[in-house]
Amino acid sequence: MDKILIKSATLVYPGHEKNGQTFDILLEDGVIKAYGEHDSISDDGVAVIDGSNQFLAPGFFDLNANFGEPGLETKETIRSGCAAAMAGGFTGVAIQPNTQPPLHSRSEVSTLINGAKEELVSIYPIGAISKDRSGNDLAELYDMKLAGAAAFSNGNKSIQQAGLMSRALLYCKGFDGLVMAFAEDYSISNQAPMNEGEVSTYLGIKGNPNLAEEIMIARDLALAVYHGAPIHFSTISTSGSVALIREAKQKGIRVTCDVSAHHLVLTDDLVKSFDSHYKVNPPLRTQADIEALKTGLLDGTIDAIVSQHTPQEVEYKRVEFEIAKNGIIALQTVLPLVLRAGLPLVTLIEKLAINPRKILNIPLPRLDVGEMANLVLFNPEEKWIFDAQTNKSKSGNSPFYQSELTGKVTLVINKHKQYKG
C-alpha cells in the first residue's frame, strides 16, 4: 500500500472522542499517520479519496458466516469467502463449523486459520460443540480453543440433548469459552421449510412455529443460569425470543444474541412466490416479528447483526421450494439491508463492528496515530447492482441478485492491505 489521504469523511464510532466529526485521515502502508480538520494534511504525492457524504467506521465483524472450505469448496473457498466479506465491508469473520469434515478438532481449526493468513479479512473459526456435529458427544473443545477457536457452536444443527448442552456450557466455563446456540426444537419444528402462520396455511406447506425457537431459548437460558455460564444465541427471529432474552438480561443473566440482516427486512409473505432463495433457517417470519427485532436492536436486547452467509450450489436451489437447501449469500448485502431496515448509523456500527468483537473478546480497532488501520469507508446513498459482475462469492443464491441496492462499501483497509469497491 502507498499513502492514502481520505478527505472529509465523517466518523461513526460510538464511544470514540471524534465520533460524528468530519476530518481528513492519512494512511501509509495501512498505518494511520495523521488525522485532522479538513485540508489540514498535505495531499502532495498521495492518493486522495474524496470522503464527502461518506462515513468512516471500524471494519465490520460478522459473527455468523459459512465458508465451504474444508470439504465444500464448490460452495465457497476461503479466498472467495474473504473476497465477498471485504466487498461487504467486513475485516473480521467468524466461520461456522458447517464443513466436511466439521471444524471439530485442532486440525480443522488450524487449517482454516493458516489458509487465511494472507487475506485482508481476519478469520475466526467457531469450533463444533459435538463430534461430527452429531449432537451426541462433546468435541475437543479445549484443544480447539488452544488452536484459535473463537467460540463453539453446532452450526446449523441445534443441540437437541439438554444434557449435552449442559456439559458444553459447564466445560467451556472452565476456560472462558463461549457457547453460541442455534435454537430450534426439532420435535416441534419438524424442520419445516417455512414459518407457521397465515401464509403457510394458505400455501398448504408445513410450518415451523415460533415456539420451536422460543422453547429452546428458554431451555438454554435455564442451563446457563444453572451453571453460571455465558451463552450467545445465533440468528434469533421471533418476537417471543426477543422478550425472553430481554427479561433474562434484566435479571442479570450473561446472555447475548444476534439477528441476521435479512430477518430485518424480509417476511414469510415472500414465500408465496415459491422462490427457493427465500428459504432460510430460521425461516422468514412476520412483520410483527420484524418490528420486535428492530425494537430489540434499538433497546440493546439484541447485541449484533450478522450475515448468516450460506452459499449453495445452483442445483440445491433450482428445485422445488420444499426440498431446496436453506440459505442465501449475504456478506455483500448486509449494509444495504440494514440501511433499508431504517436503523440509525450509530446503531448500525455498534451492531456490526463493535459489539461482535466485544462478544468474542476481540480488541476493538484503534483510531490513533501509529496504529494499524482497520477501517471501512461507505456511502449509505450510493446505488449499485448486485449481479455476476459485482458478486465476489463463488455462489449466487441470493433473492437480491440482479437487484439495485442502496449503500455501498468504497474502501476497506486491514492488515496493511486495501480493497476499493
- Residue 88: pLDDT band with limits 50, 70, 90: very high
Architecture per CATH, domain 3-56+367-420, reads as: Roll (2.30)
Separation of alpha carbons 386 and 402, rounded Å: 5
Alpha helices in 98-185 (DSSP H): 106-115, 141-147, 162-173
Angle at 370 between CA 62 and CA 82, to 5 degrees: 25
- Residue 1: pLDDT band with limits 50, 70, 90: low
Which cell goes with 21?
Answer: 466529526
> Which residue, 330, 235, 241, 222, is CA-closest to 288?
241
Whole-number pLDDT of residue 40: 83
Tell me the three state secondary structure of residue 414. strand
Question: Has residue 38 got a pLDDT over 90?
Answer: no
Supply the CATH classification number for the domain 59-359: 3.20.20.140
Model pTM greater than 0.85?
A: yes
Over residues 162-199, the pLDDT tens digits come to 999 999 999 999 999 999 999 999 999 999 999 999 99
Contacts of 366 (CB under 8 A, 6+ apart): none
Which run of H or of E encompasses 47?
A: strand 47-50
Bridge partners of 134, per DSSP, are none
Bridge partners of 411, per DSSP, are 377, 420
Separation of alpha carbons 2 and 416, rounded Å: 10
Question: Has residue 45 got a pLDDT over 90?
Answer: no
Residue type, 40: S
Q: Could you state, in order of their start, the residue ranges of all structural domains in the chain? A: 3-56+367-420, 59-359
- Output the average pLDDT for the chain: 97
Separation of alpha carbons 409 and 90, rounded Å: 10
